[in-house]
Structure 1
Amino acid sequence: MSKNKRKDYTPAQNIALTCQVSGVCPLCTEPLFHTKKGKSYKAYEIAHIYPLNPSPEEIELLKDEEKLSDDVNDEKNVIPLCESCHGKLDKFRTVEEYRLLVKLKKGLLERSYQELLWKQFGIESELISIIESLYELDITEIDNSVDIGYDPKTINDKTNQSISRPTVRKIRNNVTDYYSFIKSQIAILDKSNAEFSNLVSLQIKSFYTKQKQQKISQQAVFDNIVKWIQMKTKPQSKDGAEIITSFFIQNCEVFE
């Protein structure tokens, strides 16, 4: 059987791959570059997740395992590792080591995909003013007498076992504390821009639908929407994005 030839990845591919792991070895967190006399030097190697040329033992060991690509040199099947971790892996990889690398790489690919979505999906800039107002708000002064049709069971009915109980509790508390205020702020913006509420509703719904198509957990959907809103609106902390996401869960744009 002819052997696969190791691919020489371009400088651009090397940059993309090392950026994907944030410049550290995903197994031991050692930096992939070291500095000497003011200059940076490479301290990593591009490792194949499924072996480039597996031994008969490795072929048997991994025969029923998931492959990230049919092409072993595909960027989906490689990951930068520090020289030490790569050396240990090349001696002989166990099923557990292989599964860990597959899981790590799938997470990295998902994050890259989400970053692409953040660029593709816009959000109304006026939403920034609502989020900023949350940080100046004394929730003890919020008028919660407005009927929002809120029942704790509503959130429970919209969520399933794939989202953590602490996250469900956080969503419920955010809705209880902030829903009326956000609703009133949206109504104010609608007076100057009659389509604001419709536009932002459609934008949130569209991004949620894109997440739903991936058939990922509700926890991942919630986290991804929070990160998207956070990237687009730059709030003082993640809390602001979580509160807005919770609002749209109650409002049925997310988790119908």
Structure 2
Amino acid sequence: MESNDTYLIKRVAITENMDNAHLLEVSGTCPLCGKYMLVAKGKRMNKLYQIAHIYPNSPTSNEVKILKGLERLGANCEEFENKIALCKDCHGYYDDHKTKEEYLNLLRIKKGLLSASKAKIATSHQDLEQEIIIVINELSKIDQQTLQKMKLEYQALKISNKVEDIYTLLKVKIETYVCIYFNFIKETFQNLDQAGQINFELVASEIKTSFLKCEKEMISKSEIFDSLVKWLKSKSVGSSSEACEAVISYFVQSCEVFHEITK
């Protein structure tokens, strides 16, 4: 251990609340192998995970050498930012076979989790008018015949101006939702707005604000899209993920979500 390294401090015991926070952060699955980290045994849930240090608390001379100059998270090695829940197998392997590449990979995963958490906290304070739930509910009732009548022609889409080619899967997903549901969602919003049941401008403003909050915490458009879908689903309990994806895709097309790509 480098005695003059102020990042390294005495090990701090993990409280039950902090343990739960780490498990919640990774949604109960090991971020390295995908294994579920709790198992039911009788009436109890057994832990199959441990809280790992990303940068070691007591690095060996070899670890100091291979990790020298690399980014470290948190003000010291015992902060939440430098720890992550891993299954026992992955934790053991990481501790015994740490390489620069494996360290940077775990660092990247943790930074992504921290960004997602910040975006979730930011959008959780963003209220969504109950009225948008009406639109989501209407999506669940739509029949195939109505969809066919309202389907957009593919060439009418402008998603390519908003989503770069590196996001191929996201681009295809949004284009598909817009192609099938855009006109239906647009007409539903218009009818409800004209009937005085919703205020479309208010709904659009809330979606835009949530997008800007996510954009502040995340760079990846795929992650931003997923965060907005999760936020919409959390605000409209009982709605399907697909319906929420269709609505967020509508707002990508109508300009509340994502900016036009600058050439």
**Alignment TM-score, normalising by the size of structure 1:** 0.85
For residues 56 and 145 of structure 2, the distance between their equivalents in structure 1, rounded to whole angstroms, comes to 60
Deviation, structure 1 residue 29 = 4.5
Give the 3-state SS of the residue equivalent to 1:240 in structure 2.
helix
Matches within 5 A, 1:149-188: 151-152=155-156, 154-164=158-168, 166-188=169-191
Distance 1:79 1:186, change over 3 A: same
For residues 79 and 111 of structure 1, the distance between their equivalents in structure 2, rounded to whole angstroms, comes to 14
Alignment-mate amino acid for residue 254 of structure 1: V
**Which of 199, 204, 213 is 2:202 aligned to?**
199
Deviation, structure 1 residue 63 = 1.6
Alignment correspondent of 1:111: 116
For residues 125 and 253 of structure 1, the distance between their equivalents in structure 2, rounded to whole angstroms, comes to 19
Query: Matched residue pairs, number?
Result: 253
For residues 23 and 47 of structure 1, the distance between their equivalents in structure 2, rounded to whole angstroms, comes to 15
Give the 3-state SS of the residue equivalent to 2:55 in structure 1.
coil
Alignment correspondent of 2:135: 130
For residues 141 and 35 of structure 1, the distance between their equivalents in structure 2, rounded to whole angstroms, comes to 46
Alignment correspondent of 1:219: 222
* 2:248 maps to 1:241: no
- Which consecutive residues of structure 1, in runs of 5 or more, have no partner in the other structure? none
Give RMSD over aligned pairs.
2.8
CA contact (8 A) 1:33 1:42 kept: yes
Deviation, structure 1 residue 216 = 0.8
Deviation, structure 1 residue 149 = 11
Give the 3-state SS of the residue equivalent to 1:163 in structure 2.
helix
**Alignment TM-score, normalising by the size of structure 2:** 0.83
* 2:197 maps to 1:209: no
For residues 30 and 150 of structure 1, the distance between their equivalents in structure 2, rounded to whole angstroms, comes to 40
CA contact (8 A) 2:228 2:248 kept: yes
* Identity in percent: 34
Deviation, structure 1 residue 59 = 1.6
Give the 3-state SS of the residue equivalent to 2:10 in structure 1.
coil
Distance 1:118 1:4, change over 3 A: same
Distance 1:20 1:167, change over 3 A: closer
**Which range moves more in the overlay, 108-117 or 93-102?**
108-117
Alignment-mate amino acid for residue 159 of structure 2: I
Alignment-mate amino acid for residue 200 of structure 1: V
Alignment correspondent of 1:70: 75
CA contact (8 A) 1:128 1:235 kept: no
Distance 1:209 1:5, change over 3 A: same
* 2:124 maps to 1:93: no
Alignment correspondent of 1:50: 55
Cα shift readout 1:64-106 (whole Å, capped 9, x = no counterpart): 3221223100111012334443333333411122122212222
